[in-house]
Amino acid sequence: MADIVRFSVSLEDDLLERFDRYCKEQQYATRSEAVRQLIRKELTEQAWESQSEDAAGTLTLVYDHHRPQLAERLTALQHDHTDLIISTLHAHLAHDLCLEVIVLRGPADRLQKIASQLRGMKGIYKGELVMASAAGRA
């Protein structure tokens, strides 16, 4: 467990007001918790520029189950990358709608590439990748 260090920040009162509103809306317990998560998010995103960064993430897909071959192509691409894909959760949302959450781990650039390939397929309504550092300094 890292030591906690306190530091103070100076900012304009209207910016602080907006930040406090944001903290409340996002239900952060404290300003510190919000600042910690925002800093981590920014640093994590910056780290993706280093392509060998060990990363983990989830790719959430919502897609049309009835689009010809889509389900098969999604599964085939995942089977071709078993070194990157740890697990998949599938939920049948409606008659023709599926939700899939794919858990990934590996070099950041490869995760981004396979996520782009998966969510770029025809018939995908929504595809969102959330990445985190897996390098032990989250």
| Terminal C-alpha separation, the chain | 12
Q: Please give the residue whose beta carbon sits closest to Ni ion in the complex.
A: 98
- Reference 124, options 102, 108, 100; nearest CA is 100
* 54/136 Cα distance (integer angstroms): 9
Size of the site for Ni ion (CB under 5 A): 2
Residue 116 Cβ vs Ni ion, minimum distance, rounded to whole Å:
22
Residue 61 Cβ vs Ni ion, minimum distance, rounded to whole Å:
11
Angle (nearest 5°) at CA 13 between 11 and 14 = 110
Indicate which single residue of 85, 98, 111, 131 sits in contact with Ni ion (rule: CB under 5 A).
Answer: 98
Closer CB to Ni ion, residue 70 or residue 111?
A: 70
Contact of 55 with 106, CB cutoff 8 Å = yes
For residue 84, state whether it binds Ni ion (rule: CB under 5 A): no
Closer CB to Ni ion, residue 65 or residue 105?
A: 65
Question: Which residues of this chain interact with Ni ion, rule CB under 5 A?
Answer: 92, 98
